[in-house]
Protein backbone atom coordinates (compact mmCIF):
# COMPACT_ATOMS: atom_id res chain seq x y z
CA UNK A 1 0.00 0.00 0.00
CA UNK A 2 1.14 3.50 -0.84
CA UNK A 3 -0.47 5.64 1.90
CA UNK A 4 -2.52 8.67 0.91
CA UNK A 5 -0.02 11.06 2.49
CA UNK A 6 2.64 9.90 0.03
CA UNK A 7 0.46 10.16 -3.09
CA UNK A 8 1.46 13.65 -4.13
CA UNK A 9 0.28 15.32 -7.33
CA UNK A 10 3.52 14.33 -9.05
CA UNK A 11 3.25 10.67 -8.01
CA UNK A 12 -0.46 10.60 -8.88
CA UNK A 13 0.26 11.80 -12.40
CA UNK A 14 3.07 9.26 -12.88
CA UNK A 15 0.92 6.35 -11.68
CA UNK A 16 -2.38 7.60 -13.13
CA UNK A 17 -4.14 7.53 -9.76
CA UNK A 18 -6.06 10.04 -7.65
CA UNK A 19 -3.85 12.24 -5.44
CA UNK A 20 -4.31 12.15 -1.68
CA UNK A 21 -5.85 8.65 -1.59
CA UNK A 22 -4.40 5.29 -0.57
CA UNK A 23 -3.06 3.29 -3.51
CA UNK A 24 -3.54 -0.39 -2.68
CA UNK A 25 -1.82 -2.94 -4.88
CA UNK A 26 -3.96 -6.02 -5.59
CA UNK A 27 -2.85 -9.48 -4.50
CA UNK A 28 -3.07 -10.72 -8.09
CA UNK A 29 -2.33 -9.04 -11.39
CA UNK A 30 -5.40 -7.82 -13.23
CA UNK A 31 -3.91 -8.40 -16.71
CA UNK A 32 -3.14 -12.12 -16.50
CA UNK A 33 -3.79 -15.14 -14.29
CA UNK A 34 -1.91 -17.96 -16.03
CA UNK A 35 1.70 -18.63 -17.13
CA UNK A 36 0.69 -18.31 -20.78
CA UNK A 37 -1.12 -15.06 -19.98
CA UNK A 38 2.02 -13.66 -18.38
CA UNK A 39 4.11 -14.49 -21.44
CA UNK A 40 1.55 -13.01 -23.83
CA UNK A 41 1.61 -9.80 -21.78
CA UNK A 42 5.42 -9.74 -21.94
CA UNK A 43 5.22 -10.08 -25.72
CA UNK A 44 2.73 -7.21 -25.84
CA UNK A 45 4.95 -5.00 -23.68
CA UNK A 46 7.94 -5.75 -25.90
CA UNK A 47 5.96 -4.84 -29.00
CA UNK A 48 4.52 -1.64 -27.51
CA UNK A 49 7.99 -0.53 -26.41
CA UNK A 50 9.48 -0.99 -29.84
CA UNK A 51 11.43 -4.11 -28.97
CA UNK A 52 12.92 -3.15 -25.61
CA UNK A 53 13.81 -6.07 -23.30
CA UNK A 54 10.83 -7.31 -21.32
CA UNK A 55 10.78 -9.72 -18.41
CA UNK A 56 9.59 -10.09 -14.85
CA UNK A 57 10.78 -10.16 -11.24
CA UNK A 58 9.59 -12.57 -8.58
CA UNK A 59 10.36 -14.10 -5.23
CA UNK A 60 10.12 -17.86 -5.74
CA UNK A 61 7.37 -19.49 -3.74
CA UNK A 62 6.51 -22.93 -5.15
CA UNK A 63 8.84 -24.71 -7.62
CA UNK A 64 5.90 -26.04 -9.67
CA UNK A 65 4.99 -22.43 -10.54
CA UNK A 66 8.45 -21.93 -12.05
CA UNK A 67 8.13 -25.16 -13.99
CA UNK A 68 4.73 -24.00 -15.22
CA UNK A 69 6.36 -20.86 -16.63
CA UNK A 70 9.00 -22.97 -18.37
CA UNK A 71 6.34 -25.22 -19.88
CA UNK A 72 4.47 -22.13 -21.07
CA UNK A 73 7.64 -20.84 -22.76
CA UNK A 74 8.17 -24.17 -24.50
CA UNK A 75 4.51 -24.31 -25.59
CA UNK A 76 4.15 -20.74 -26.86
CA UNK A 77 7.68 -19.96 -28.00
CA UNK A 78 7.41 -16.63 -26.16
CA UNK A 79 10.52 -16.00 -24.07
CA UNK A 80 11.08 -13.27 -21.50
CA UNK A 81 14.36 -11.48 -22.04
CA UNK A 82 15.14 -11.70 -18.34
CA UNK A 83 13.96 -13.05 -15.01
CA UNK A 84 14.99 -11.27 -11.81
CA UNK A 85 15.00 -13.47 -8.71
CA UNK A 86 14.33 -11.60 -5.49
CA UNK A 87 15.10 -13.43 -2.27
CA UNK A 88 12.80 -13.52 0.72
CA UNK A 89 15.50 -11.46 2.46
CA UNK A 90 14.41 -8.46 0.40
CA UNK A 91 11.68 -6.02 1.33
CA UNK A 92 11.18 -2.57 2.77
CA UNK A 93 10.06 -1.01 6.01
CA UNK A 94 6.61 -0.85 4.42
CA UNK A 95 6.27 -4.60 3.87
CA UNK A 96 3.93 -6.61 6.14
CA UNK A 97 6.07 -8.15 8.87
CA UNK A 98 4.81 -11.72 8.41
CA UNK A 99 5.58 -11.62 4.70
CA UNK A 100 9.03 -10.18 5.34
CA UNK A 101 9.85 -12.82 7.92
CA UNK A 102 8.24 -15.98 6.58
CA UNK A 103 7.12 -15.93 2.94
CA UNK A 104 9.18 -16.88 -0.11
CA UNK A 105 12.46 -18.71 -0.75
CA UNK A 106 15.78 -17.20 0.32
CA UNK A 107 17.80 -15.88 -2.61
CA UNK A 108 20.17 -18.84 -2.81
CA UNK A 109 17.42 -21.46 -3.07
CA UNK A 110 15.27 -19.29 -5.33
CA UNK A 111 18.17 -18.54 -7.68
CA UNK A 112 19.14 -22.20 -7.91
CA UNK A 113 15.51 -23.10 -8.66
CA UNK A 114 15.33 -20.57 -11.52
CA UNK A 115 18.77 -21.56 -12.78
CA UNK A 116 17.81 -25.25 -12.89
CA UNK A 117 14.49 -24.54 -14.59
CA UNK A 118 16.03 -22.33 -17.28
CA UNK A 119 19.09 -24.47 -17.93
CA UNK A 120 17.19 -27.73 -17.50
CA UNK A 121 14.85 -26.63 -20.29
CA UNK A 122 17.82 -25.48 -22.42
CA UNK A 123 16.66 -21.85 -22.39
CA UNK A 124 19.68 -20.11 -20.86
CA UNK A 125 20.89 -18.79 -24.21
CA UNK A 126 17.56 -16.91 -24.51
CA UNK A 127 16.96 -15.75 -20.93
CA UNK A 128 19.20 -13.66 -18.67
CA UNK A 129 18.91 -14.06 -14.90
CA UNK A 130 19.23 -11.24 -12.37
CA UNK A 131 19.62 -11.71 -8.62
CA UNK A 132 18.52 -9.50 -5.72
CA UNK A 133 18.00 -9.94 -1.99
CA UNK A 134 20.42 -8.37 0.50
CA UNK A 135 23.31 -8.45 -1.96
CA UNK A 136 25.64 -5.84 -0.53
CA UNK A 137 29.18 -7.06 -1.15
CA UNK A 138 31.55 -8.39 -3.80
CA UNK A 139 31.42 -11.82 -2.15
CA UNK A 140 27.64 -11.82 -2.40
CA UNK A 141 27.87 -10.96 -6.08
CA UNK A 142 30.43 -13.71 -6.72
CA UNK A 143 28.15 -16.24 -5.04
CA UNK A 144 25.19 -15.13 -7.16
CA UNK A 145 27.22 -15.44 -10.37
CA UNK A 146 28.32 -18.93 -9.34
CA UNK A 147 24.68 -19.95 -8.93
CA UNK A 148 23.66 -18.76 -12.39
CA UNK A 149 23.04 -15.01 -12.18
CA UNK A 150 24.08 -12.78 -15.07
CA UNK A 151 23.91 -9.63 -12.96
CA UNK A 152 22.98 -8.45 -9.49
CA UNK A 153 20.58 -5.79 -8.29
CA UNK A 154 21.17 -3.97 -5.02
CA UNK A 155 18.91 -1.56 -3.17
CA UNK A 156 19.47 -1.92 0.57
CA UNK A 157 23.24 -1.37 0.41
CA UNK A 158 22.87 1.75 -1.70
CA UNK A 159 20.19 3.03 0.65
CA UNK A 160 22.68 2.64 3.50
CA UNK A 161 25.36 4.50 1.54
CA UNK A 162 22.79 7.23 0.98
CA UNK A 163 22.09 7.54 4.71
CA UNK A 164 19.28 5.07 5.53
CA UNK A 165 19.37 4.00 9.20
CA UNK A 166 16.53 1.44 8.95
CA UNK A 167 14.11 3.43 11.06
CA UNK A 168 11.31 1.39 9.41
CA UNK A 169 9.30 4.52 8.63
CA UNK A 170 9.39 4.21 4.82
CA UNK A 171 5.60 3.97 4.57
CA UNK A 172 4.82 6.81 7.00
CA UNK A 173 6.56 9.66 5.20
CA UNK A 174 8.51 10.40 8.40
CA UNK A 175 11.92 9.08 7.32
CA UNK A 176 14.38 10.86 9.66
CA UNK A 177 17.19 10.97 7.09
CA UNK A 178 15.13 12.30 4.18
CA UNK A 179 15.57 9.20 2.00
CA UNK A 180 11.95 7.98 1.85
CA UNK A 181 9.69 10.96 2.41
CA UNK A 182 7.67 13.52 0.52
CA UNK A 183 8.16 16.09 3.29
CA UNK A 184 10.18 19.00 1.93
CA UNK A 185 11.49 19.75 5.40
CA UNK A 186 12.68 16.18 5.95
CA UNK A 187 14.11 15.96 2.44
CA UNK A 188 16.43 18.84 3.30
CA UNK A 189 18.34 16.41 5.53
CA UNK A 190 19.58 14.59 2.44
CA UNK A 191 22.33 16.75 0.92
CA UNK A 192 22.58 15.41 -2.62
CA UNK A 193 26.05 16.76 -3.44
CA UNK A 194 27.47 15.06 -0.35
CA UNK A 195 25.53 11.79 -0.55
CA UNK A 196 26.11 11.33 -4.27
CA UNK A 197 29.85 11.06 -3.67
CA UNK A 198 29.29 8.44 -0.98
CA UNK A 199 27.04 6.36 -3.21
CA UNK A 200 29.51 6.53 -6.10
CA UNK A 201 32.39 5.60 -3.77
CA UNK A 202 30.51 2.60 -2.39
CA UNK A 203 29.74 1.39 -5.91
CA UNK A 204 33.34 1.77 -7.08
CA UNK A 205 34.84 0.06 -4.04
CA UNK A 206 32.39 -2.85 -4.29
CA UNK A 207 33.32 -3.47 -7.93
CA UNK A 208 37.02 -3.14 -7.12
CA UNK A 209 36.57 -5.80 -4.42
CA UNK A 210 34.79 -8.06 -6.92
CA UNK A 211 37.72 -7.67 -9.28
CA UNK A 212 40.11 -8.73 -6.50
CA UNK A 213 38.06 -11.86 -5.86
CA UNK A 214 37.92 -12.77 -9.55
CA UNK A 215 41.66 -12.28 -10.02
CA UNK A 216 42.44 -14.25 -6.85
CA UNK A 217 40.36 -17.14 -8.22
CA UNK A 218 42.32 -17.07 -11.47
CA UNK A 219 39.45 -15.94 -13.68
CA UNK A 220 39.12 -13.13 -16.20
CA UNK A 221 35.39 -12.43 -15.78
CA UNK A 222 32.82 -12.77 -12.97
CA UNK A 223 30.77 -15.05 -15.20
CA UNK A 224 33.62 -17.56 -15.31
CA UNK A 225 32.67 -18.60 -11.76
CA UNK A 226 30.49 -21.69 -11.48
CA UNK A 227 28.97 -23.68 -8.65
CA UNK A 228 31.91 -26.08 -9.02
CA UNK A 229 34.20 -23.39 -7.64
CA UNK A 230 32.17 -22.82 -4.48
CA UNK A 231 32.55 -24.60 -1.15
CA UNK A 232 29.76 -24.69 1.44
CA UNK A 233 29.69 -25.90 5.01
CA UNK A 234 27.66 -29.11 5.05
CA UNK A 235 27.58 -29.64 8.80
CA UNK A 236 29.48 -28.54 11.91
CA UNK A 237 32.60 -30.49 10.96
CA UNK A 238 32.51 -30.83 7.19
CA UNK A 239 32.70 -28.49 4.20
CA UNK A 240 32.33 -29.61 0.62
CA UNK A 241 31.49 -28.59 -2.95
CA UNK A 242 28.23 -26.76 -3.57
CA UNK A 243 27.08 -29.74 -5.65
CA UNK A 244 27.03 -31.87 -2.49
CA UNK A 245 24.46 -29.51 -1.01
CA UNK A 246 22.34 -28.73 -4.10
CA UNK A 247 21.78 -30.50 -7.41
CA UNK A 248 22.54 -28.55 -10.57
CA UNK A 249 20.90 -29.70 -13.80
CA UNK A 250 22.63 -30.10 -17.13
CA UNK A 251 21.33 -28.23 -20.23
CA UNK A 252 18.12 -29.82 -21.50
CA UNK A 253 17.92 -32.39 -18.69
CA UNK A 254 14.36 -31.45 -17.74
CA UNK A 255 13.19 -32.10 -21.27
CA UNK A 256 15.28 -35.21 -22.01
CA UNK A 257 14.90 -37.00 -18.69
CA UNK A 258 12.91 -35.15 -15.99
CA UNK A 259 12.70 -38.36 -13.94
CA UNK A 260 16.45 -38.17 -13.28
CA UNK A 261 16.09 -34.81 -11.55
CA UNK A 262 14.81 -33.83 -8.09
CA UNK A 263 12.15 -31.82 -9.95
CA UNK A 264 10.41 -34.88 -11.43
CA UNK A 265 7.28 -34.49 -9.32
CA UNK A 266 6.90 -30.71 -9.69
CA UNK A 267 7.61 -30.97 -13.43
CA UNK A 268 4.74 -33.43 -13.76
CA UNK A 269 2.47 -31.23 -11.62
CA UNK A 270 3.24 -28.05 -13.60
CA UNK A 271 0.76 -26.77 -16.22
CA UNK A 272 1.34 -24.14 -18.88
CA UNK A 273 -2.25 -22.93 -18.53
CA UNK A 274 -2.32 -22.55 -14.73
CA UNK A 275 -0.15 -21.68 -11.76
CA UNK A 276 -1.97 -24.41 -9.80
CA UNK A 277 -0.82 -28.00 -9.65
CA UNK A 278 -2.38 -30.46 -12.09
Q: Specify whether the CB–CB gap between 249 and 116 falls below 8 A.
A: yes
Please give the Cα distance from 77 to 58 (Å, whole number): 21
pLDDT of residue 219: 95
Question: Domain extents for the chain?
Answer: 1-28, 29-219+247-269
| pLDDT for residue 108 | 94
Confidence at residue 49, expressed as pLDDT on a 0 to 100 scale: 96
pLDDT in tens, 127-160: 999 999 889 999 999 999 999 999 999 988 999 9
Please give the pLDDT value at position 72.
97
The CA-to-CA distance between both ends of the chain, in Å, stands at 33
Q: Residue 190 to residues 9, 148, 248, 265: CA-CA distances in angstroms? A: 22, 37, 45, 52
Quick one: pLDDT at residue 92?
Answer: 63
- Classify domain 29-219+247-269 at the CATH topology level: TIM Barrel (3.20.20)
d(CA 164, CA 180): 9
- For the chain, which residues score pLDDT lower than 70? 91-95
Amino acid sequence: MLPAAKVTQEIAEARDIEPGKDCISPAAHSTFSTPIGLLEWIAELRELSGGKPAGFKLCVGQPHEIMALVKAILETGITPDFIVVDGAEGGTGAAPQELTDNVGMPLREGLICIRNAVIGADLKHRIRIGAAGKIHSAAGMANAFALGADWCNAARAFMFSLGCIQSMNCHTGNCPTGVATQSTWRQSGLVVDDKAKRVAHFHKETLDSLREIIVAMGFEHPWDISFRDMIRRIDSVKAGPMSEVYQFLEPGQLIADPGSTPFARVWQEARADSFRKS
